Chain A
Amino acid sequence: MLAIQNLTKTYPNGVKALYGVSLTIPEGMYGLLGPNGAGKTSLMRTVATLQEPDAGTIRLGEIDVLRQKDEVRRRLGYLPQDFGVYPRISAQDMLSHIALLKGITSSGERKDVVEAMLRRCNLYDVRKKSLTTFSGGMRQRFGIAQALIGNPQLLIVDEPTAGLDPGERNRFYNLLAEVGENVVVILSTHIVEDVMDMCSRMAIIHLGKVLFEGQPADAIAQLRDRVWRRSIAKSELPDYEQRYQVISSKLAAGRPVLHILCAQTPGDGFLPASPDLEDVFFTKIRGWN
């Protein structure tokens, strides 16, 4: 279990990345949902021993994450949001090197593990190719492979599905689900379905603060009977935005479909909608309750 207490971080340029963040993350998949710039990456880097908070504590079981960094790293799998690769090195060699640094020092074992991981991440056929020639999706799969290798007890994945096609994405989530039962998995994303599909618990984070923590179903339950939808003409949008608490507007068959938050029946052609996590997400970050 990962316990985060009162984590605060202000960058030298004055940006408050984290503001008293406290979370308790049990084993299993944990979704961290927030728009870009919410502080997700700062939080994850801090947990991944890459950044110092100004205040607060993090504990992974008995381990003080901020002081016993090496202990954390021995249990950690980390997929950064944005990463590159060494030039002039093949996928297999790089993965093998990372596996070794994680502690798979026996070369025979390492060879098997690397090969299995390459197969699992669908990189086996290109294992001898230079990483610099990889496409975005292939590179992302490599990132996943390096994070998963070594059976981490704490797996932090930051925007893992960026650049993956739907099939790849499904396969990745299957992989995660496989490993995620007995370990702490923090999945950071701005894509609501990912959390909905995968996570038993989640937090919504915005501007460095936790807006919600709990089970996705609980969050949705909070909005029961308060979300309404209606299809409108494009030109009417500003008018509606003035009159209602518009959660979102999405195009359906070329026309905007509005979701609004309203405790009573709004009339005006709005129909009740069954709330989803996306409605929760937008409601939370807009600060409505």
Chain B
Amino acid sequence: MLFEIAWFEIRYWLRSWMLWIFTLIIATMIFGAVGTDFIVVGSALTNTYHNAPYVIENYYTFIGLLTLLMVTAFVNSAASRDFSHNTYQIIFSTPLKRRDFILGRFLGSALVSVIPMAGVSIGILLAKYMPWVDPERWGPVVWSAHLKGLLVFAVPNTFFIAAILFTIALLARNDVVAFIGGILLLTGYIVSEVFTRDLERETLAAILDPFAIRTFGLLTKYWTVAEKNTVTVGFTGLLLWNRLLWIAVGIGVLAFGYFRFSFAERARKSKAAAEEPSAPAAAAAFPSFELRQDNWTKLLASVRIHFLGILKSTVFIIILIAALLNCVPSVIFNAREGYGNATLPVTYWILDVIASTLYLFVLIIITYYAGVLVWKDRDNRVDEITDSLPAPEWVSFLSRFIALGAMVMIIQFLALLSGIIVQAVYGYHRFQFGLYLSQMFGRDLLLFIMFGALAFFIHALAPNKYVGYFSYVAFAIGNVFIWRPLNISTNLMQFGATPQVVHSDLFDDAPYISAWRWYALYWAFFCALLAVATVIFWPRGRQLSWRERWRNAGLRFHGLWPALTAVCLLLFVSAGAWIYYNTKILNRSMGPKDRLRLQAEYEKKYKSFDSLPMPRVRSIKYDIDLLPETRNAFLRGEEVIYNPYSDPLREIHFSLDRLYEVDIDIPGASLVKDDKDLSYRVYHFSEPLAPGQSLTFHFTVKSRNRGFENSVSNVNIVQNGTFFNSTVGPVIGYASDREINDPIERKKYGLGEQQLMPALERNCSEHCRDNYLKGHSDWIDVETVISTSPDQIAIAPGSLVREWKENGRRYFDYKLDHSSLNFFSFLSARYAVQREDWNGIKLEVYYDPDHAWNVPRMMNSLKKSLGYYTANFGPYYQKEARIIEFPRVDSFAQAFAGTMPYSESIGFIANLNHPDDIDMVYYVVAHEMGHQWWAHQVVGANMQGATLLSETMAQYSALMVMEKEYGRDMMRKFLKYEMDNYLRSRGQERLKERPLLTVEAEQGYIHYRKGSAVLYYLKEMIGEDKVNAALRKMIERYAYAQPPYPTSWDLIDAFREQIPAQYQYLVKDLFEDITLFSNRTLEATAHKRNDGKYDVTIAVESHKFKADPKGNETEVPVDDWVDIGAFAKPEKDRKYGKTLHRELVHVTQAHSTYTFVTDELPDKAGIDPFLLLIDRVPDDNVKKVTLAATSSTATD
């Protein structure tokens, strides 16, 4: 009987729409998340296979949150259906056993609730076979991962949730209570997330997580790509206990519900939904009325009916809550994300979070409800009544359309509200309501409206609802994916496409908005035509054949309709023509593949010239006119080149920037090759350039901003916030940074594996001629006259010599104080400036007047950095140090000589109110200042390991400035994040992980993250003085030195000289190999001594591994000097307690025990407590100390 009831329940749901809609939603979401790049579910995908076991199981953990309310819908209905439909008297009068009834209904509905979760597998399995996906990102189908995802996560999670909600529904017998229960469960979970976020309590949090999301996260925290791609998590360890715990809780809850439920007591007579009235009505005089066919009143009333109809439907409420659930927590938790550190919750960031977490749901709602609304009357068989009412078709269409639009706006409004509340709660009061409105209720809403219009049109024409849904979804998917393979990028073809708009507080949306407006107009009128067609063909009555539909359409198409159609058509065509003129005739537009094809051709044709000797640059004089109003720049250059080689040079080659028109005038040289497509030129000297001979030539560079483009190609020259660098001018020789980096794209274009950097050589001369910035130049002199509009400040390299006004424009003359690398930037904006003087050096921060928050910190960091570096490394040769804000078209900070452009979206919006946070602003400035020595004085030769000399040294420099400012104890937090980042990133390496010695220029996680950890550890081991002595030696020998340039060996040799004999092994471990530790404290106990101090004993375990470039690890014997120590309990609101003991011990075996004495009772103790070694699991290094009963207390 039990199974019959369960089976009956299952069949009931299998026939229902709701089940399949939910399944479809989940499958679509996951399909989108793994099959495309622009949908995010949970967290974004990493470099694993998109169908890696890790990805599958991860989605199965996460999806439980989204399906929670779906489960509510199923089990609530199963538990209370008989009450809400008044059939309970029939059901309960049959001789059903209580057990069978309860358990049968529960089992059936719980099993059905698992089905939508299987959408995860459906989505992932399907996405693999889509034509557009990149096969290299997809591994083989691992069925065991799907199975385990279902069995380990989906089924137990559902069981637990279903047990609670079923019990609530059973006892409350009220739909609303059950849904509130579901929502409370979710809220509770999310709130608990806040309390368990702290890393220290990870294991407890993992056990207590009913969805096992944290459990899975903890188990897989440091998995490498190889592990993520192959290993599945089953019922093991922590996860087994977690699952058992929550299944037991589920059973307990269910048992409670089972015993509380009683047929007889609770089956009280509830009121019939609608009873037959008995009294016949008295025939009263009928009130009089007037008939007025006012269509606007009818429209308004119809909007209301359809709007409430959607609002009250269970499916809508569930999708809405799932949408907000994916969105609002993201807004809450990501609003202030950063470097373990906070940024201000700025509006454009909140908008990004909302778009990536909410809008898929909005599109699903549009898709689903467009069908529901068009077919509403026919599905409910009300059509014969409503179709014969005197309301025009446009009222039927428009009322539904507006109702759907209003629904979308409500969802958007809720998200907007959450954004503003989150900003307010976080104390950020710069609400940009205008930006919220123009983005969400302007650009985003327009897109939704357009897709709504399309969906209505398709459904109005479709012979039935399913054909309608299928056609719309097929069109929408095709519309996204078909254009790229066809190499069509114009927004004129892709339905609803408009150019991307980036908001910056410096220029708002000025560079983007006019193009957007024209495309928006174009598509809006197209959709207006669709809407007219929808009205004309609106289904009404029994129209069985297209002949009848056309006849009806003919009857309807009179009066204003032809005029309206003509106007829309005219405007649509005119907008299209104007766009065509601007994007195709005034500007060149490229297909998406054209750019890659050009890059590939450039490499194939000219790579062979890379090693060709070319004249080298000696000095450049720039004369630049910036015209911010028209987004144009005009640049004249006078460049001196010379021949440093022993043979005469016959040719000079240039790589040009495609976005600019370049003219080059070289006296005595003729243009022999002018490859306009690939922007490459070869000039032949009629008289070869003799060894040592120099030559001056002139060039002009013009930006070409005319009309508007399909997408803005040049974001460097803008109305406010221009930032371009010297590479806009002619670059001598082949530019390898224009090559395609992506190995998959390279393969497609028939290019071999990219030669990242030449192999490292020791004691090289010939191959060390070029530094890693290349460009056929060494240290050059630069002078610039730059003009801009009168309200802006223009900045060029060097000291400001003169400033004047002329012809209503503002002119600046800059001159470099010391010859520098050929890599300069030019900027112009309406800046506020803060200036200070430090020992004759001008310190300047140029910033947007609205972004003053962190300027004092920047200034402080500039001063402290200069102080530390001049004292420990060597003199600073520039006369100024400037930080300059630039718009968020990019997000980095970059060091040019004396000039450090710093993106609006980092640093300037950092939020540093919490004392335990890492001061990222301070740190980045110190890093960029570090580059003034490490890169702009000592620069590595162009080969592997070059960035060890620049990036890693800048990291070390910044760490030391940080340590001086914040103390040695605060470094722990910083190092932990560096280490976490390194360990996670090495798991995502697609090529080879290199040791520091041979790090590639692109491997930021090695030269930044690992570099920080390694150098800091080295400094802890041999002392700051010795490290700095080695660095000083490098500066003395290589600062501004002519080629050959130094390599990473030179630095390592300098360290080796400073390292004491017992630590010499470190050179190999830290720089030449990839070395990892697994240190763990097994036990930590304290005994109180008679003198009031404590004997602390720790039992520790140490393992050491060497990894190969693919991440395979081999254990090696431990023979290392490692810290042991103990900490006091942290003060209130602080993260770290006082250090009670710190001692360096020589660890030579896997298991050791150490004892030491502390003055106070320690809170925690363990091995490598400051996280100096690279440790696969850093969190278990220290352990809570247990106070053992001592002999003295025993005798008391």
Q: A60-88: which have CB < 8 Å to B?
A: 67, 69-70, 73-74, 76, 78, 80, 82-88
- B290 to A: closest C-beta gap in Å: 7
Say yes or no for B301: interface residue by CB 8 A criterion: yes
Rounded to whole angstroms, the CA-CA distance of A171 and B279 in the bound complex is 13
The residue that B555 contacts in the complex, of A67, A74, A87, A106, with Cβ under 8 A, is: A67
Contact: A116 with B286, CB < 8 Å?
Answer: yes
Say yes or no for B274: interface residue by CB 8 A criterion: yes
Say yes or no for B543: interface residue by CB 8 A criterion: yes
Say yes or no for B390: interface residue by CB 8 A criterion: yes
Contact: B277 with A125, CB < 8 Å?
Answer: yes
Rounded to whole angstroms, the CA-CA distance of A146 and B384 in the bound complex is 12
Rounded to whole angstroms, the CA-CA distance of A37 and B750 in the bound complex is 71
Say yes or no for A265: interface residue by CB 8 A criterion: no
Contact: B274 with A86, CB < 8 Å?
Answer: no
Contact: B380 with A84, CB < 8 Å?
Answer: yes
Rounded to whole angstroms, the CA-CA distance of A98 and B298 in the bound complex is 10
- B392 to A: closest C-beta gap in Å: 7
Do A124 and B273 form a contact, CB below 8 Å, given A50-B384, A84-B381, A105-B297? no
Contact: B384 with A78, CB < 8 Å?
Answer: yes
Rounded to whole angstroms, the CA-CA distance of A109 and B287 in the bound complex is 8
Rounded to whole angstroms, the CA-CA distance of A150 and B292 in the bound complex is 11
Q: Please, which residue of chain A has its CB at the minimum distance from the CB of B314?
A: A88
The residue that B289 contacts in the complex, of A76, A106, A133, A171, with Cβ under 8 A, is: A106
- B273 to A: closest C-beta gap in Å: 4
Chain A residues within 8 Å of B279, by CB = 125
Contact: B388 with A76, CB < 8 Å?
Answer: yes
Do A50 and B388 form a contact, CB below 8 Å, given A88-B312, A109-B287, A109-B289? yes
Do A73 and B388 form a contact, CB below 8 Å, given A52-B548, A86-B376? yes
Do A109 and B290 form a contact, CB below 8 Å, given A50-B541, A86-B305? yes
Rounded to whole angstroms, the CA-CA distance of A67 and B381 in the bound complex is 25
Chain A residues within 8 Å of B275, by CB = 125-126
- B318 to A: closest C-beta gap in Å: 15
Contact: A129 with B301, CB < 8 Å?
Answer: no
Contact: A119 with B381, CB < 8 Å?
Answer: no
Interface 1/0 per residue, A125-168 and B, CB below 8 Å: 11001100111011000010010001100000000000000010
Q: Please, which residue of chain B has its CB at the minimum distance from the CB of A146?
A: B385
Say yes or no for B560: interface residue by CB 8 A criterion: no
Contact: A124 with B290, CB < 8 Å?
Answer: no
Chain B residues within 8 Å of A146, by CB = 385
Do A122 and B292 form a contact, CB below 8 Å, given A86-B382, A100-B298, A105-B297? no
Contact: B309 with A87, CB < 8 Å?
Answer: yes
Say yes or no for B544: interface residue by CB 8 A criterion: yes
Chain A residues within 8 Å of B282, by CB = 119
Rounded to whole angstroms, the CA-CA distance of A119 and B550 in the bound complex is 43
Do A80 and B384 form a contact, CB below 8 Å, given A12-B545, A105-B292, A125-B277? yes
Contact: A101 with B386, CB < 8 Å?
Answer: yes
Q: A24-53: which have CB < 8 Å to B?
A: 45, 48-52
Say yes or no for B474: interface residue by CB 8 A criterion: no
Say yes or no for A113: interface residue by CB 8 A criterion: yes
Say yes or no for A16: interface residue by CB 8 A criterion: no
Q: What is the interface size of chain B, counting residues whose CB is below 8 A from a CB of the partner?
A: 52
Chain A residues within 8 Å of B291, by CB = 74, 102-104, 150-151
- A107 to B: closest C-beta gap in Å: 9
Chain A residues within 8 Å of B298, by CB = 100-101, 105
Contact: B382 with A126, CB < 8 Å?
Answer: no
Rounded to whole angstroms, the CA-CA distance of A45 and B388 in the bound complex is 9
Say yes or no for A11: interface residue by CB 8 A criterion: yes
Chain A residues within 8 Å of B308, by CB = 88-89
Say yes or no for B964: interface residue by CB 8 A criterion: no
Do A85 and B380 form a contact, CB below 8 Å, given A102-B389, A109-B287, A119-B282? yes
- B376 to A: closest C-beta gap in Å: 7
Q: Please, which residue of chain B has its CB at the minimum distance from the CB of A133?
A: B273
Interface 1/0 per residue, B287-308 and A, CB below 8 Å: 1111111100110011001001
Chain B residues within 8 Å of A125, by CB = 275, 277, 279
The residue that A73 contacts in the complex, of B294, B389, B544, with Cβ under 8 A, is: B389
Do A74 and B548 form a contact, CB below 8 Å, given A84-B382, A116-B286? no
Contact: A98 with B385, CB < 8 Å?
Answer: yes
Say yes or no for A97: interface residue by CB 8 A criterion: yes
Say yes or no for B276: interface residue by CB 8 A criterion: yes
Say yes or no for A218: interface residue by CB 8 A criterion: no
Say yes or no for A112: interface residue by CB 8 A criterion: yes
Contact: B287 with A112, CB < 8 Å?
Answer: yes
Contact: A11 with B544, CB < 8 Å?
Answer: yes
Say yes or no for A187: interface residue by CB 8 A criterion: no
Q: Please, which residue of chain B has its CB at the minimum distance from the CB of A79?
A: B385
The residue that A101 contacts in the complex, of B286, B389, B555, with Cβ under 8 A, is: B389
The residue that A124 contacts in the complex, of B281, B283, B287, B313, with Cβ under 8 A, is: B281
Rounded to whole angstroms, the CA-CA distance of A21 and B276 in the bound complex is 41
Q: Please, which residue of chain A has its CB at the minimum distance from the CB of B545?
A: A12
Say yes or no for B201: interface residue by CB 8 A criterion: no
- B1154 to A: closest C-beta gap in Å: 71
Contact: A48 with B281, CB < 8 Å?
Answer: no
Of B274, B281, B294, B391, chain A has the most CB atoms within 10 Å of the CB of B274
Do A98 and B287 form a contact, CB below 8 Å, given A103-B293, A133-B274? no
The residue that B277 contacts in the complex, of A84, A106, A122, A130, with Cβ under 8 A, is: A122
Chain B residues within 8 Å of A101, by CB = 298, 301-302, 386, 389-391
Contact: B297 with A100, CB < 8 Å?
Answer: yes
Contact: B289 with A110, CB < 8 Å?
Answer: yes
- B871 to A: closest C-beta gap in Å: 76
Chain A residues within 8 Å of B542, by CB = 45, 50-51
Rounded to whole angstroms, the CA-CA distance of A123 and B281 in the bound complex is 9
Contact: B277 with A120, CB < 8 Å?
Answer: no
The residue that B287 contacts in the complex, of A88, A105, A113, A171, with Cβ under 8 A, is: A113
Chain B residues within 8 Å of A171, by CB = 280
- A124 to B: closest C-beta gap in Å: 6
Q: Please, which residue of chain B has its CB at the minimum distance from the CB of A158?
A: B384
- B271 to A: closest C-beta gap in Å: 10
Contact: A105 with B388, CB < 8 Å?
Answer: no
Chain B residues within 8 Å of A98, by CB = 385-386, 389
Say yes or no for B1003: interface residue by CB 8 A criterion: no
Rounded to whole angstroms, the CA-CA distance of A268 and B69 in the bound complex is 77
The residue that A106 contacts in the complex, of B290, B386, B388, B390, with Cβ under 8 A, is: B290
Q: 10 additional contacts, CB 8 Å, given A102-B389, A125-B275?
A: A49-B541, A50-B384, A50-B540, A74-B293, A86-B380, A87-B313, A93-B305, A100-B297, A138-B276, A146-B385
Query: Hey, which bits of chain B sit against chain A, CB under 8 A?
Result: 273-277, 279-284, 286-294, 297-298, 301-302, 305, 308-309, 312-313, 376, 380-382, 384-392, 540-545, 548, 551-552, 555
4 A-B pairs with least C-beta separation:
A84-B381, A50-B541, A133-B273, A103-B291
Q: List, sorted by A's number, 10 A–B pairs whose CB atoms are closer than 8 Å.
A: A50-B541, A83-B384, A87-B309, A87-B380, A102-B390, A104-B290, A105-B297, A119-B281, A126-B275, A167-B280
